[in-house]
Amino acid sequence: RTSGVRVRERHLRRVFRIICSSRVDFGDYFDHLLPWYAHRGRPQRLVRHLRGPQEKISRSWILKVADFVGEDYGKKLRDQPAVLERIVSTTSLESMKSLNKGIKNWTESLDGVEPQDVPESLRLMKESLGDLWKKPVAGDFVRKGIVGDWRNHFSPKQVEQMKERIALKTEGSDVMTLWNDVDLP
């Protein structure tokens, strides 16, 4: 049991380094967030960052997202409450946790795919994961849905590194005020 904890901690440290060096599959989080945030004052844009816990994703926010995508989508959800309820149900923490089983060995589904047919994002993921690519996922992809649970996983040194990274990436922006109520590093 102790060795499993050490492996998990070693893996978390590696993932932390990958995130802090921006070598993640779909690019640096802040490189996506900051351009989006710059448009927050434009009335025709929905500028709201949905974050955990999942209970914060309410019917009203689902309708706002639908309206943002297109008025017809919002109207359809209002006219067909069963469809809205299905979205609420599908995005619930319980429903998302049910995905964990299918995620455990997902890389096996790519075994027979020719290298040239593998999307660039998956190739980068495989490259960044190295030997971990073939190992079944040990933990759950969707975990607790508790705001602030990061404190149970970050060392004091990692908290300081993350604070420095956030300060560097968000210099000149007030984007971090989005999370004033959740006490991020």
> 168 pLDDT exceeds 90?
yes
From 24, 35, 7, 64, select the one nearest 173 (Cα to Cα).
35
Spell out the residues 6+ positions from residue 124 whose beta carbon is closer than 8 angstroms to its own: 25
Residue 183: band (very low, low, confident or very high) from pLDDT cuts 50, 70, 90: confident
Residue 170: band (very low, low, confident or very high) from pLDDT cuts 50, 70, 90: very high
Q: pLDDT per residue over 18-68, tens digit each?
A: 888 877 777 888 888 888 888 766 655 544 444 444 445 678 888 888 887
More confident position, 10 or 81: 81
Query: Once rounded to an integer, what is the mean pLDDT over residues 77-96?
Result: 90
> 17 pLDDT exceeds 60?
yes
Per-residue tokens: 152: 């149970």
Q: pLDDT per residue over 106-122, tens digit each?
A: 777 777 888 888 888 88
Spell out the residues 6+ positions from residue 36 whose beta carbon is closer than 8 angstroms to its own: 47
Q: Which of 21-35, 58-72, 120-134, 160-174 has the highest mean pLDDT?
A: 160-174
Q: What is the pTM of this model?
A: 0.55
